[in-house]
Structure 1
């Protein structure tokens, strides 16, 4: 093996190797698995992993680690090149045209949702958001879908850190009420939030899964009075679930169903 130049920082190489050890086939890794993947001791792997947790690039439930959306900060590759937002865009466009509503794809970043792609409907509601904007996850359909799918410990940690704000008269009023809502969302696999963040908006969201990997949440924003809540779920949910699966399939190829 060629000798490394004097400027070469081995720890930088290993740090990037830790991040690159995570992929679609290995979204969750233990200390032992990372140590084997980058050929370091378990003690060294643990130090790298915990440092990346402290920096916000990884998260852990105490046993396994996973990447967070903060890895987007490392480069523009997530938002340029062949990325999830690029793959999702034509599907979101088709869905927006078919439903005549605004569609979006979001990911969870700490207590917020982050818009990574959005297609606006011809009729714009009062809340104007764009790619890269953040909203409080607890108050949105996308956020509730993503938080509901977290492991129990991570979900409780999210609730512990949540600071409720009274946005409208319909905003959820307590952490216990929010916890009950998240339990229902997890059981049914979708979330409908009606005018809790903005009086001029209802949102329906479903998770986007590739196998066991949660990629994000697909959302449709619906103007109040345009369609009833029952019709929203009856008419839109099957279509949204199909589009969510199409996005996942196009992003990483067809995979086995979630277990």
Structure 2
């Protein structure tokens, strides 16, 4: 019988090429521009130029990047890697149908997000077609301090995790590293006040069991969120009901949305606890 090998025990010749390929793709995706030269990618990844050339040749053949003369650009097929990563969590399949049903019941947008370091990343969306100043897609990442799920996740952070968040905020106080959200106004980006408000929301969410976003991202955009837990009680994701101040304030949205949201979360937790098919 074949012996199972843990991922961290796999030989380097199997894992190394994958890691180097992903490193180059990350550099292409996260660079300041959309066009990249192989030499720039070598400097950005720390890989040897010959290694980058081999990786790029593979990525071109796979269709993940494309070449225009000496420039390299992401190709549409690269999106399947991000989709595979999000799908591999098992969350979209398990909770997505319940999010869609909740959106239909409330006639409001519903999103499912997971913690991603000191950020919050969407893995499923059920959007209502309304004119909104800003909208998000599965895969987008938000600063934890600027959304309701972030307060739920931060409620369980250690001192080290708070330190990581603080270092990121000091380095990027206007949130330019999060292209899915509008940058902060300099007048409201003071680190002390941002951290105090974020810690207060995290403490409140721990006590209340739910969190609110009262126009933290954009004027007019509000949300309430509940955590979804695994069988051990750990928070694995958060579900948000998103609305607009033209329809609700936080109090009225919570009154309307929290009861069906709690029922949806119970169904999601049951789906996550069910043995796989």
| TM-score of the aligned structures, taking structure 1 as reference length | 0.63
Q: Return the alpha-carbon distance in structure 1 between the equivalents of residues 102 and 234 of structure 2.
A: 23
Report how many residues are paired: 192
**Is the 2:118–2:164 Cα contact (8 Å) retained in structure 1?**
no
In the alignment, structure 2 segments of 5+ residues that lack a partner are 16-80, 175-182
Partner of 2:119: 112
> Offset of 1:229 from its aligned partner?
2.1
Q: Return the alpha-carbon distance in structure 2 between the equivalents of residues 114 and 216 of structure 1.
A: 10
- Return the structure number with greater helix share: 2
Mark the CA change 1:180 to 1:94 in structure 2 (over 3 Å): closer, same or farther.
same
Q: Deviations over 1:204-223 (max 9, x none)?
A: 11111123121101011111
State the SS of the aligned residue for 2:10.
Answer: helix
**Is the 1:167–1:198 Cα contact (8 Å) retained in structure 2?**
no
Partner of 2:177: none
Partner of 1:218: 239
Partner of 1:27: none
Mark the CA change 1:162 to 1:251 in structure 2 (over 3 Å): closer, same or farther.
same
Mark the CA change 1:141 to 1:242 in structure 2 (over 3 Å): closer, same or farther.
same
- For the pair shown, which has the larger CA radius of gyration, 1 or 2? 2
> Offset of 1:167 from its aligned partner?
2.9
**Is the 2:149–2:211 Cα contact (8 Å) retained in structure 1?**
yes
Mark the CA change 1:237 to 1:2 in structure 2 (over 3 Å): closer, same or farther.
closer
Q: Return the alpha-carbon distance in structure 2 between the equivalents of residues 131 and 74 of structure 1.
A: 10
> Offset of 1:132 from its aligned partner?
0.7
> Offset of 1:174 from its aligned partner?
2.8
**Is the 1:139–1:171 Cα contact (8 Å) retained in structure 2?**
no
Residues 90-129 of structure 1 mapped to structure 2, 5 A cutoff: 90-129=97-136
